[in-house]
Structure 1
C-alpha cells in the first residue's frame, strides 16, 4: 500500500471506523441517535452522524458506568450538598478543595448566583464554546437524562436517591468550568468561602518567612492530588522511525475526577479514542489515526495574588490610585439539613474586590485579613470555559504542528502541559496554558515585598493593589484579558524525544534545555525530582540499546524501578551494618530495588525513605546544574537523620506486626467487593514512574490508593496501519460495585497486564463478546 499523508491516512481510518449505518440526520424528528459498541472491559465505542448524537451516546454510556459519581457532581456544582448530606461532611475533593459541604456550597452557590458560567457560555466561539462543543454538551445531557429515565440504576450509592436528577447543557459547562479552576480558585475554596473582615483595627500581619514560602510552593499542586508522566519518542528514537507516546497521568482513584475510557466517531469528521474526566463530553487525552497526546500537570502558576492596603478603621475598603474603593459584599444563602432532618437556609457573606475574591491563605501560607492589609486572588481560569474547545481541537489534530496551532488558537488548557507524538515521527512538548499575563519585567515592577520573595522562589506573583496599572493587562493575540501571550510559552519539537514528569519545561530534553521564559511558567537550572530523573535515565538507557518499540515504552511504566533505591540502598545497607541493626540490613541487601507486588524489602525501604527525605545532609554530592540528571547523588552514610529514619521505620513495621521482608503487595492493596488486589508502584519521593499514593493504616499497611497511575496509554504508529495501542484504566471503568467492570482492569494493573486497543473497524468487529446498543428516540 502506498504511504499516505497524515491527513489522508486519518480520513481513511475515519471512514473505516464506521462499522454500520448510523441513523441519518433526516430522522431528527425521531430524536437523537447513536450506536454504542462495547468491547473488552466495558470500553464503549460511540458512533453517531453528528455531534449532538455523539454527545447523546457518550452521556448515556458514561451514566451507565458512573451515574452516582456524576450525580454527586451535579449536587456539588448546584451548591446543594448540605441540603442532602449535611453541612459538616467532607466532599470527595473532585471539584474543589472544600473541607466541608457547607464551604463547597457557599463557594459554588456564589458562582451560580453570579451567572458567570452562563455569561461565558453565551459568548460566541472562540471566546465561548464552539458550535460542535455546544452540540456535544446538549447531547451529553440528553444521554445522561435518558439513562435516568430508564430507571436501571444498580449502584447502591445512589439507587433511589432523591438527589439524582435530570441535567441541562448548563450542568455540562459548570463541570468544565470547575475543572478549569482546580489549579486556582478551586484550591482555596475554604479560604474564599470563609474570609471575613477582622474586628476593629487589627494590626498588620508579620511577613511570612522564606521557610513558610518554600513550604507553600512545595505544597501548591500537591494539594490537588494530581501529577503525571509522559514520554513522546520521535523518528530518531523509535525502532520503526514513527512516533510512540506514553501517557501516564496520576489522578485520584476515588470521586468524580476519575478518567473514563471511550472512543468517539462521526464518520468522515472525527475519530478519537482515549479518556475524559467524568462529565466531559469529549476525550481529554488519547489518539486518532495519526496523532496521540497526553497532559501532565504543569508548574505554571495559574493565578496571582494582590496585596490590598486597607483604609484605617474600615477593613472592607482599600486604596487604588489614591482613591478609596469598597469591597463587594454578597450574601450567599444555601439550604442546610440539620440534625433533626429539617432543611433551613444558612447565609454567609462573600467578599470580593476589583482583583477578585478575598482569600486568607494559599497552600500552607497564611495571608490573614488584618486591619492593615488583605489579599485577593485573580484566577484567569475563572473566565475560561474553553477547555472542551481545546480537547476537541487536539482530537482532530493530525500532526504535532496542528496541535500547537490548536493550543494557541483555543487557549483553553488551565494547568497542564501537552506531550504528543505523530505518525511522521515528531515528538512535542508544549506548555501552552492559561496563565496570568505576568512577565518578569512586570513582576519586578509590580510585586509587593512578599511578592518578590514568592515570585523568585515559586513563581507566585503578589502584586501591589494600590496601583491599577499592576493588574495584568490584555496581551496581543489572547482571547481574554489578563492572560499571557501564547507565543511566550515553551514549545519543543524533536525527532528524538521529549518528556515531562511535573517538573518545569527546563529539561524536557537534556540535549536542548529550555531557558529564558517568565518565572511564572516554571523554574530553570534547578534540581529535578527523582521521578523526573528516573524517567530521563530510563529513556537514555533505552536509547543506548536501540530505539523504542511499543513494548519498550510499556516496560518503562511497570518496571517499577525505585530510583531512590538505586541511588541509596547500597549506602543504606552500609549504614545499617555500621549501626549493627542485623535483620533490616539483610532485608535491604536482598531487595531487588523495585516496587513490584512481590518485592521483599520494598515496604521497609518505603517507610524509611519517606522519613529520611527531610534530611538536609542526605547526599554527599549536591545538585550540579551541569549534571542535572545525575545529581544530587552519593548517599551520606553518616547522616544522623537517615539513621534515625531507618530505626523509626524498623520500629514502625515491628509494632504493626508486619515482617520486615513482607512482599509489598501484602501490605499495599485495594479491596474490591471483599477481594484484596495487590498494587505495585510507590510514592513520589521514591522516584517511581508508576506513582501510587496510598493511605497508611498501622497494622495493615497501605490499604487504599488515594491517587496515582490512572488512564495509562501507549500509542505507536506504523505507517498506514491502525495505531498499535495498549491502554489501562487502573481503577476500572465503573465505580458501581455491581458492575462487571468495577475491578477487572484493576486486576490487570496488579498483574502488569494491558488492554489491547481497538480503534479500527476490523479490530472492534473481532472483539470477543461484542455488544451493541442502538439509542434512538427523543431526548
Structure 2
C-alpha cells in the first residue's frame, strides 16, 4: 500500500507538472509561477495556500478530487440527471441529494429543475441573490483544479477508475450541487414531484404523523456548545465544541481543509465534499458550528382544482392552469423515459409526503413552497462566516444574506462571547397567518410541528413579503431566535427554547420551533454537561471549560437514558433473566458507551425499543423542570417488559453474550480490519452520537451516520488552540492511506492537533508539500 501511494505521488508530479518542495521551505509564501501550494499535515489534512481566490479554489478542487474523486464524480452524475444513462434506471441513487428511490426519478427531478431555469436565474442575479465575486472566483478555480486532477488519469479507487461517467465538470455542476444541498425541502419530495398525477378521489394519509415521524428520524443532526468567558477556565476567553452528526458514506461526507490567502483570508475546518468554502471551523478570532434546526423550511398549499380539469386550480374563484415541465431521461437499458412535473403559483404539485403518506390529487391538489428553492445565497453566507471576526460579525453575516439553510449557528469568539442564532431561510409564516389562512389540517399540523398547510384558493394567503427579508417569502431576521451569553449556549437539534435555561427563548413564531415542550435526552445531556463543568461538579479538576476537558467530556460517552433508567433496567433484568451475567453487568455499569462497557450493548438494544413506546416514564414531563423530567422508567409497563425480552433475544440471535463489551458488538470494517466504535444512538442521550446498522447475525457492523467532523476550540491570548477529528477519515478511497487512519484514532478516543499558523504547519511531522503550477 505504501509503495503504491509513493508511486502515485511520483506519477502525479510528472503528469501534472507539480513539484514537491522541502518541508521547511515556502511556509510563508508561494514559489514563483505557482497557482497554489497544498501542505499536507498529519492524517492527510491539506492546508491550501494561494495568492488569490481563483488559486485557492484551484488548490481546493485538486486536493478534494485527489481524496474523494469517486464520491464527487457520483455527485455530479446525479445533479446532471445522468444516473440512468450510465448506471441503470432502477438502481438506487445517493440518498444525500434527494429523496428519490430510483435513478430515473432522481434524474427526472434534476432535469426538471434545469428546465425551470431557476439556478441560471439565481446565478445571473447580483448579490445577495447571486454569488458574490469572491465566491464565483473560488468556484471557477475549484472546477479547474478538479479537472486538472481528473486529466492526469491517476484514479486508483476501483469504484470509478476507468468508468465513462467520471468526466470533467463545469461551474454550473458545482452550483447545481450547492442547490441540491440547500433545497432540502424540495429535494425530499423528489419522488412525489416527478410521479404526481391526478387520480380518483382517495383518502388522505395521516400527514400529522408523517411530519412528526420524519422530523424524529432525520439522518442529519448535531451538538454544539459555545462557552463564553464566564464559563471558561482561567486563561481562556471562550471554548467551542462542534459535533455534527452526518452520514458516514456518500455525498454528505465532510472533508477537512484550511484555506489561506496571506494577509487576506485564513480559515480552517471542514466542508461538505464539493463546497470550496469552510462551512464549520475557525479563523484567528472566532469558531463556529451548525446544528440542524427545527424550523419548518417548507409550507404546503391546498389548491382546489377545477371540476373536470384537475390540472387547473382556482385562485380567488378564477381558474389557473398548472405549469407542466416535461423532461426526458436517457436510460441505459433501452428507450428514454419521460416524466412531467406540474407546478402551481406556490410550487410543485406533490402526491405524497417524503415518507410516502398519500396526498391525493383529485378535487384538491397539494403543492410545496420551499423557501430554499430560491436560495443560492448559502455560499455568500459561508463566505461571510469565513471572514467574520467575532460573534457580532457572525450575526451580521447571517442577517445580511439569510442564506443559511435549515441550520442553527453556534459560535464563540476571542472577546469572550457565546452566540446562538437561528437566522436562516425560513418561510414567512406567522401564528397570525395560520389563524387567518390555515386549513383544518394546516392548523393541526402547524401546532404540532410548525409546518403550515395554507389555503391556496386565496391569493392573499400566498407567500408574504417581510420588509426585513432579502427575498420575498422569507421570515425577517428579527423574528428569528437569537441569544448571546457570557456563560454558555447550546443546541442538540431541539428548538431554541432552552438554548440556555437561565434565559429561555419564547419570542418566535411556531414555524421556528416549539416552546415549553419535552426536550430530547441529548439536549438534557448537553445542558447538564455545560452546567456541571462551569460549576465544577462533574468530577474533573477545577471549574470552567478548556478545549481539553471539552474533548474528555464528549468522549465520556455518558448516556442520559442510562442515568435515568439504568437502575430500573438492572432490576428488570434480575426479574426476567435472574442469575445471568448481564444483570450483574447492568447493576455495576457506569452508564457510558465506551468500548469496554459491559451491559451497554444490551441497554442500547433495549432502550431503542423503549423510546418507540411514547411515554415509558412514571414521572411525566414538567415544563418547570425541563432538564430533569420525565424520569423513572415504568418497568411494569407490558411494552417495556417486552422490549427487554426482545433485546435479549436479539443479542442471542447475533451470537453475542448479554454482557458482551460494546467493542464486540459495535464496529466498522475497513479493508478487512475491524475497528470498534464507541458512542450511542440519539435516543439514548449520548452526545457522541453513533447510529449503527444492526446485523441480526453479528450485531452493529457499520455506522450509518453520527459524529463526523468534531472540533474543540479555545481562544487564549496567544490565539486559537484546537483539536479536531474526522471520524471516518479524509478519503473514501480504500487504496488511500487516509481511508481509515482517523477512524482508528476515533476508536482509541484520540484526536488530531489542529495546525493553524504557518509555524504549526511547518513543524508537522512528515509534512508533505505540493506545488500546483
Band of TM-score, shorter chain: over 0.9
Name the structure 1 match of 2:487: 496
Q: Check if 1:436 corresponds to 2:433.
A: no
Q: 2:546 aligns with which of 541, 544, 549?
A: 549
> Which ranges of structure 2 fall in alignment gaps of 5 or more residues?
1-24, 537-542
Does the CA contact (< 8 Å) of 1:213 and 1:365 recur in 2? no
Q: Check if 1:454 corresponds to 2:452.
A: no
Task: Write the distance in 2 (CA, Å) between the matches of 1:221 and 1:386.
Answer: 28
Q: Deviations over 1:129-150 (max 9, x none)?
A: 0000000000000000000111
Q: Check if 1:717 corresponds to 2:711.
A: no
- TM-score of the two chains, using structure 1 as the length reference: 0.93
Q: 1:129 aligns with which of 123, 128, 131?
A: 131
Classify the secondary structure of the residue corresponding to 1:305: strand
Name the structure 1 match of 2:348: 357
Q: Check if 1:732 corresponds to 2:732.
A: no
Name the structure 1 match of 2:681: 683
Q: Check if 1:229 corresponds to 2:223.
A: yes
| Aligned-residue offset at 1:241 | 4.3
Q: Check if 1:753 corresponds to 2:744.
A: no
Q: Check if 1:374 corresponds to 2:365.
A: yes
Q: 1:323 aligns with which of 307, 313, 318?
A: 318
Bigger mean CA deviation after superposition, 528-537 or 632-641: 632-641
Name the structure 2 match of 1:162: 164
Does the CA contact (< 8 Å) of 2:426 and 2:475 recur in 1? yes
Classify the secondary structure of the residue corresponding to 2:612: coil
Task: Write the distance in 2 (CA, Å) between the matches of 1:64 and 1:44.
Answer: 11
Q: Deviations over 1:346-390 (max 9, x none)?
A: 111111111110112224472423321110001111111111111
Name the structure 1 match of 2:522: 531
Q: Check if 1:278 corresponds to 2:273.
A: yes
| Aligned-residue offset at 1:586 | 2.2
> Which ranges of structure 1 fall in alignment gaps of 5 or more residues?
1-16
Q: 2:151 aligns with which of 146, 149, 152?
A: 149
Q: For 1:260-409, list aligned pairs within 5 A.
A: 260-338=255-333, 343-364=334-355, 366-409=357-400
| Aligned-residue offset at 1:178 | 0.7
Name the structure 1 match of 2:618: 620
Task: Write the distance in 2 (CA, Å) between the matches of 1:232 and 1:406.
Answer: 18
Task: Write the distance in 2 (CA, Å) between the matches of 1:547 and 1:527.
Answer: 28
Name the structure 2 match of 1:14: none
Task: Write the distance in 2 (CA, Å) between the matches of 1:334 and 1:616.
Answer: 44
| Aligned-residue offset at 1:117 | 1.0
Task: Write the distance in 2 (CA, Å) between the matches of 1:580 and 1:34.
Answer: 64
Does the CA contact (< 8 Å) of 2:479 and 2:507 recur in 1? no
| Aligned-residue offset at 1:615 | 2.8
Classify the secondary structure of the residue corresponding to 2:389: coil
| Aligned-residue offset at 1:344 | 3.0
| Aligned-residue offset at 1:229 | 0.2
Q: Check if 1:562 corresponds to 2:559.
A: yes
Does the CA contact (< 8 Å) of 1:214 and 1:457 recur in 2? no
Q: For 1:577-656, list aligned pairs within 5 A.
A: 577-579=574-576, 581-583=578-580, 584-656=582-654
Q: Deviations over 1:605-650 (max 9, x none)?
A: 1111111123345211110001000000122222221111111111
Name the structure 1 match of 2:65: 63
Task: Write the distance in 2 (CA, Å) between the matches of 1:574 and 1:734.
Answer: 46
Task: Write the distance in 2 (CA, Å) between the matches of 1:405 and 1:195.
Answer: 41
Q: Deviations over 1:549-587 (max 9, x none)?
A: 111111121110011111101011223333454313223
Does the CA contact (< 8 Å) of 1:613 and 1:685 recur in 2? yes
Task: Write the distance in 2 (CA, Å) between the matches of 1:580 and 1:391.
Answer: 54
Does the CA contact (< 8 Å) of 1:77 and 1:175 recur in 2? yes
Does the CA contact (< 8 Å) of 1:587 and 1:661 recur in 2? yes
Does the CA contact (< 8 Å) of 2:28 and 2:758 recur in 1? no
Task: Write the distance in 1 (CA, Å) between the matches of 2:118 and 2:40.
Answer: 38
Q: Check if 1:188 corresponds to 2:186.
A: no
Task: Write the distance in 2 (CA, Å) between the matches of 1:741 and 1:84.
Answer: 29
Task: Write the distance in 1 (CA, Å) between the matches of 2:577 and 2:376.
Answer: 61
| Aligned-residue offset at 1:452 | 0.3
Name the structure 2 match of 1:701: 699
Task: Write the distance in 2 (CA, Å) between the matches of 1:205 and 1:72.
Answer: 39
Q: Check if 1:516 corresponds to 2:513.
A: no
How many corresponding residue pairs?
Answer: 741
Classify the secondary structure of the residue corresponding to 1:295: strand
Q: Are residues 472 and 102 of structure 1, via their aligned partners in 2, closer, same or farther at CA, if it must alter by over 3 Å?
A: same
Q: Check if 1:22 corresponds to 2:20.
A: no
- TM-score of the two chains, using structure 2 as the length reference: 0.94
Pairwise CA RMSD: 1.5
| Aligned-residue offset at 1:22 | 2.3
